[in-house]
Amino acid sequence: MAEHPRDAYTLLVLHTHGHGDHVAADAQFTDRPHTTVVPGDRNSAWGYFGFTDDPGRVARVDLGGRVLECLATPGHHEAAVTYYDPHTGFLLTGDTVYPGRLYVEDWDAFGRTVDRLIAFADTRPVTHVLGCHIEMTDKPGVDYPVLTTYQPDEPPLQMTIGQLRSIREAMDEIGGRPGRHAFPDFIICNGDA
Ligand SMILES: [Zn+2]
């Protein structure tokens, strides 16, 4: 504040979706001055971005000269949002895309989301696809067990557009069958798998 004087820095807390492990720390921001917390449930989050009326829109959030583009990307969670940061080229996909178990709650919505992310990435320079977890090992198709806390042989978090396309191809191969379907860089868990 001394170096860059202004009235205040505001803090905006947004989520990629409303699952417990992603919103558990929200309470720490309660009553914090100059802070807006947008809860991760569908009404709150999608209402904030204007997705409730128009899920196909690209919402924009200005962080102060740095404008994020935000997409409604349901499938893993009904209120999922993906963020694109043009400054870094990061596509921040939450739990929708990451090197691990992709838990699909709504198969059709998930497929439309993956298609939309591929189409979006075709129109923007994307440097990395960054999700929120790593669960794979460095052996193709082999993941660490749930709740593992030491993963010395995990792949990097960042993924490529090529891997995003591989998810689409994997979905075509699975064809909506429920269950756990392992592929080299990710595992698609459809339904209660
Ligand atoms: Zn999740």
pLDDT value of residue 153: 97
Residue 2 belongs to a domain: no
pLDDT value of residue 192: 67
Residue 1 belongs to a domain: no
Which domain, by its residues, includes 118? 11-190
Separation of CA 95 and ligand 1 centre (Å): 5
Residue 58 belongs to a domain: yes
Separation of CA 44 and ligand 1 centre (Å): 17
Residue 5 belongs to a domain: no
Residue 160 belongs to a domain: yes
Residue 142 belongs to a domain: yes
Separation of CA 77 and ligand 1 centre (Å): 7
Determine contact, residues 13/48, Cβ cutoff 8 Å: no
Residues in the chain: 193
Separation of CA 3 and ligand 1 centre (Å): 39
Tens of pLDDT along the chain (193 residues)? 889 888 888 999 999 999 999 999 999 998 999 999 999 999 999 999 999 999 999 999 999 889 999 999 999 999 999 999 999 999 999 999 999 999 999 999 999 999 999 999 999 999 999 999 999 999 999 999 999 999 999 999 999 999 999 999 999 999 999 999 999 999 999 986 5
In 16-160, alpha helices (H): 20-23, 42-49, 107-121
Cα(55)–Cα(112) distance, integer angstroms: 12
Residue 4 belongs to a domain: no
Q: Please state the domain count of the chain.
A: 1
Separation of CA 17 and ligand 1 centre (Å): 7
Separation of CA 18 and ligand 1 centre (Å): 7
Residue 62 belongs to a domain: yes
Specify the CATH number for the domain of residue 86.
3.60.15.10
Measured CA distances, 54 to 16, 51, 121, 141 (Å): 18, 5, 20, 37
Separation of CA 54 and ligand 1 centre (Å): 23
pLDDT value of residue 1: 80
